[in-house]
Amino acid sequence: MYRRSICAGLVLGLLPGCATPPPLSPLRSGLAVSFTVVRAEGSGGELSVSNKALGSGMAAGAGSGAVLGGLWGLVCGPWAVLCIPLAATAGAGAGTAVGAAVGMTGALSKDKLALLRDRMVRAQRAHDPVDELRRHVTEKARRYWKLGVDPPAFVVTIQLQDIQLTSTRDEQVGFWVKALVSLRPAGQPPASTLEKAYRYAGPVSPLAVWLDNDSDFVDTSLSNAHSQIASQIVAELAAR
């Protein structure tokens, strides 16, 4: 009974970490609203490419290591209740290290990373991400609110972060688009500002598709991603 209480407490303690951020306050239709789209502070550097094989390798290594460690703890006999958790923890740590080493072998080579980054830079020069997101937001927002009216009733600022690329062991490449939205009544101090982060996962395709200069896959995928982010933001602000 005591151990059940401990487990219940741990589960309940973890729940707040899984809670989704509260929604932004919806804006009444017909209000004058100002939308500003800017690059997030610190963005504009070299595009990051995270190795998903590393994460999956570490997770798998930790899991198998914990199981093996737990089994080894059974040799403690009457002290097994103490040995098993300690052995499982030690096994998970060792398994994570092994999994990380295996996952590193799935990273893209430097040459392929350079080609991928170059392709993304050229795509973003041709279609500026901030301009793309601003266009999509404006198209969707004007269905609900009055834009370009001075003074506005509310100010919405959208900070577009750098695109986050991902790769897997078999050279499947994907990406994330993220934006931080701030909402406040016009003329009010920063303390009245509400904030929420939004993100959209783009399609995952072979590296060769990303590097194909004769294909519009990259341009279309990025445009769709910015359209989806804009839809998320506007839909929440327009919620009844």
- Of the listed ranges 42-51, 106-115, 158-167, 227-236, the one predicted with least confidence: 42-51
Query: Given pLDDT bands bounded at 50, 70 and 90, which one contains residue 45?
Result: confident
Peptide bond into 206 cis (omega under 30): no
Q: Give the model's pLDDT for residue 47.
A: 83
CATH class of 23-51+107-237: alpha beta
The tens digit of pLDDT for each residue in 122-173 reads 999 999 999 999 999 999 999 999 999 999 999 999 999 999 999 998 999 9
Which residues, including other chains, have CB under 8 Å from residue 86's CB and lie 6 or more apart?
Answer: 73
Query: Would you state the pLDDT for residue 78?
Result: 61
- The residue ranges of every structural domain in the chain are 23-51+107-237, 56-104
Of residues 133, 152, 154, the one with CA closest to residue 198: 133
Secondary structure string (H, E, C) spanning the chain: CHHHHHHHHHHHHHHHHHCCCCCCCCCCCCCEEEEEEEECCCCCCCCEEEEHHHHHHHHHHHHHHHHHHHHHHHHHHHHHHHHHHHHHHHHHHHHHHHHHHHHHCCCCCHHHHHHHHHHHHHHHHHCCHHHHHHHHHHHHHCCCCECCCCCCCEEEEEEECCCEEEECCCCEEEEEEEEEEEEEECCCCHHHCEEEEEEEECCCEEHHHHHCCCCCHHHHHHHHHHHHHHHHHHHHHCCC
Q: What is the pLDDT of residues 15-24, one digit of tens each?
A: 444 445 677 8
- Type of residue found at 119: R
Query: Average pLDDT of 81-109?
Result: 52
Is the pTM higher than 0.85? no
Q: What is the pLDDT of residue 56?
A: 46
